[in-house]
């Protein structure tokens, strides 16, 4: 599956209804984004069961702001609706391919348990 442009109205639906979603935050004027685009596209072709979304930070400033995007390109990955990876800068092709493979192997029960532990600790600190 080739990459798809994602806009705010369908964003939550895409995250919630797909097992693995990668997001590339980019802009037309960004040189490194233009270099990363073909790499992102090539890897997207290798993983038809993964959604590779592209979010133009100029067209979707609220989405960029909600993720506190400070530099582009930035790659973010979700698995089962949970953000599990965020990396500013263009990823090398092998690293992006490796990331997708590792996401497939990621045990989400462990991730959820870790999040619960972290949230409980944060709540205790607030009390």
Active site residues: 30, 33
Question: Which tokens go with 93?
Answer: 């092709």
- In degrees and rounded to multiples of 5, residue 76 shows phi and psi of -125, 140
Q: How far apart are CA 115 and CA 27, in angstroms?
A: 32
- In Å, the largest CA–CA distance within the chain is 49
Q: Which residues contact 36 (CB under 8 A, 6 or more apart)?
A: 24, 26, 73, 90, 91
Cβ atoms 75, 23 nearer than 8 A: yes
């Amino acid at each position: 599956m080739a990459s798809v442009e994602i806009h705010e109205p369908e964003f939550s639906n895409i995250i919630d209804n797909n097992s693995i979603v990668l997001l590339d935050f980019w802009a037309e004027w960004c040189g490194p984004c233009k270099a990363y685009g073909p790499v992102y596209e090539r890897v997207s072709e290798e993983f038809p069961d993964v959604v590779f979304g592209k979010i133009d930070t100029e067209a979707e400033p609220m989405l960029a702001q909600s993720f506190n995007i400070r530099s582009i390109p930035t790659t973010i990955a979700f698995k089962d609706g949970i953000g599990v990876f965020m990396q500013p800068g263009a990823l090398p092709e092998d690293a992006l391919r490796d990331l997708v493979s590792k996401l497939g192997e990621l045990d989400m029960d462990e991730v959820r348990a870790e999040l619960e532990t972290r949230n409980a600790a944060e709540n205790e600190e607030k009390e």
